[in-house]
Copies of this chain bind each other. A is one copy, B any other.
Amino acid sequence: MVPAPLEQLIKQLSRLPGLGPRSAQRAALHLLTTQEALPQLQRIMLEVSNTVVTCSTCGNVSLEDPCHICTDEERDGRIICVVEQVDDLWAIERSGSYKGLYHVLGGVVNALDGIGPDDLNIRQLVERVENPDTQIEEVIFALGASVDGQTTCHLLSQRLEPTGVTITGLAKGIPVGASVDYLDDGTLAVALEGRKVFG
């Protein structure tokens, strides 16, 4: 009933995060029935695969390798901020509150999904820190405050300990703008425990 190539397209689209089988079907039909939608998407995908590369140093996506962040002379080359994915890097860049380098792990360890330490860019991070040319003084863990994220932090700190680098993590507490009565117990506990002298 559904033409075979279209069925294939629906299947491919449904693998994208955020699209289920049903929305993949709607997306495929949208592409097919909207003037110029399919060729436009084809053109831009071709351009992306021809121009965008993954930085072999930090794992960021960029038009150059090493990427525009790794080669930026104005950034502080002594600090590396470790993130799970490139969109976490984008979020930190948007905030404008960090001027060091990055390292994209490519995920966090998760036994259920079968993601072990060797599936992440951990070895590359240790090598960057060990490399005498880089002069890294601090590594910031900016991973999610989930069980998997924290497990990965412990693993990373074990691997980095021999290098003698300073290891820090994001502060935990009440998010800016949040109201106390909506906070979960875990956040309340760390926010109370980590309380600071006011003013």
Chain A 1-16 interface mask (CB, 8 Å, partner B; 1/0): 1111110110011011
- A16: min CB distance to chain B, Å: 4
Choose from B37, B49, B85 the contact partner of A38 (Cβ within 8 Å): B49
- A8: min CB distance to chain B, Å: 5
Task: Assess the B1–A16 pair: CB atoms within 8 A.
Answer: no
Q: How many copies does the complex hold?
A: 2
Please measure, in the bound complex, the distance between the C-alpha atom of A16 and the C-alpha atom of B33, giving whole angstroms. 12
> A25 to chain B: which residues have CB within 8 Å?
87, 90
Task: Assess the B8–A16 pair: CB atoms within 8 A.
Answer: no
Residue ranges of A at the interface with B (Cβ–Cβ < 8 Å): 1-6, 8-9, 12-13, 15-19, 23, 25-33, 37-42, 44-49, 51-52, 54, 61-63, 85-87, 90, 93-94, 106
